Structure 1
Amino acid sequence: MIDVGSCADGDGDGVCDSKDSCLDTPAGAAVLPNGCSLELATGALRLEGVFFETDSDMLKPESIVTLDAAVNVINTSEAKKIEIAGHTDSRASDEYNQVLSDKRAKAVYDYLTAKGVEPDRISAQGYGESQPVAENTTDEGMARNRRVELRVLDQ
């Protein structure tokens, strides 16, 4: 559990309410740094805090906190099959972005399995620039589109 110090933590999940994207997780539940668990996720659950070197599938060191939390969330989840979905912005060609997103999803898969997640429970899939969550016309929008998500495929 995360030490929340003196901040408000209404659901008791160890994440300050000001940083908690899922304010109704059960107390003591395994959650990501954003306060979300797989059981309460509707659709894709973004792995906030997972970053890669520019134009690379090399994970940045600051990703470790989120990825280690993801190991705990996945291992305590009852989900039978989870997809790691990689996404890019639209700066390069469709083909290049597809390959980069595949490599990034695989890098996260490799990290999670090396830390104890059963390989049969997770899969890696890149989607390139095909599923944007924001416009690719601003730096902010492109940053939002560069992401890794967890998707429960089978409960």
Structure 2
Amino acid sequence: MNNRKRTLIAIATSISLAVTCSQANAKPLLSNKTKTEITGATFFTGASVAGFIAGGPVGMVVGALTSVYFTEKSKKLDLVEDNLMETQAALATVENAAAHSYTVQEEKISQLEKATLAPLAFQVLFMTGDDELTQQDLQRMDALAQYLSDNQKLQVRLDGYADPRGTDEYNNVLSNERALNVVNALQERGVAAERIEHFAHGANKSVASQGDIEGYALERRVRIEVFANTDQQAVATSD
């Protein structure tokens, strides 16, 4: 080995050691990204010098390319990690949104179920001695039949009444006919017979004072009660 080459090797070695020592003594005040770039640059210098020592100019080029490769690879790993964190954050956001949406849907379903069991107010009133349903009553039967069609677990109880005028026999027949006419109206609208029960009470439940015409009017009626078939608990009553 000639003197020129020995001199170059000594200089290269000194430079490599100086760069390495300088990096080791530096204060950790840089960000991770900056550290990565400096580390790559240091590796570039060391690898270049080492390559130069090993193979002259060609070795230096190989060392430089190697340092660039590791620097770029480090950057790509950082990018992959950042993308992974962003993906995880987006996934967490989607999961939270889905959980919230599910909770909202459950609340809506619960509200609909409660609405299904909400009290109804159905009552049919009659003129004195009459058992026929008016046009307005038939419209109410339309609504009731639709409600029962939408809620197949519900059943209907009908109680017919009469005011105290007239004989007990007459009032018993009259209150029964009133209830039967409501039964027929519901069946004509598609409500199955086994879902309907009816009773006649005549004037036995009258609470109107004698001669109270307005009180009598409220007693000529069919009381409609809708209840759940599962537990026979009344859920809708009209008085």
Both proteins in one fold, TM over 0.5: yes
Count of residues in Structure 1 that have an aligned counterpart in Structure 2? 119
SS of residue matched to 2:158: strand
**Which residues of 2 match residues 4-19 of structure 1 at below 5 A?**
none
**Root-mean-square deviation over aligned CA pairs:** 2.9
Distance apart, 1:74 and its partner CA? 2.6
| 1:121 aligns with one of 195, 200, 211 | 195
Please identify which structure carries the higher helix content. 2
Are 2:175 and 1:98 equivalent residues in the alignment? no
Give the match for residue 76 of structure 1. 150
* Mapped contact 2:155–2:196 kept (Cα < 8 A): yes
Structure having the higher Rg: 2
The 3 A distance-change label for structure 1 pair 102 and 77 is same
Give the match for residue 62 of structure 1. 136
Give the match for residue 47 of structure 1. 122
Larger RCO: Structure 1 or Structure 2 (Cα < 8 Å, ≥ 6 residues apart)? 1
Q: Normalised by the size of structure 2, how large is the TM-score?
A: 0.43
1:64-114: per-residue Cα shift (whole Å, max 9, x none)? 121111212333345554211111111111111110010110010001001
Looking at structure 1, the residues matched to 176 and 121 of structure 2 have their Cα atoms a distance apart, in angstroms, of 16
Give the match for residue 109 of structure 1. 183
* Mapped contact 2:127–2:220 kept (Cα < 8 A): no
SS of residue matched to 1:58: coil
Structure 2: gaps (5+ residues): 1-110, 234-239
Q: Normalised by the size of structure 1, how large is the TM-score?
A: 0.62
The 3 A distance-change label for structure 1 pair 136 and 60 is farther
1:32-87: per-residue Cα shift (whole Å, max 9, x none)? xxxxx7x344xxx6623x34454232222221121111212333345554211111
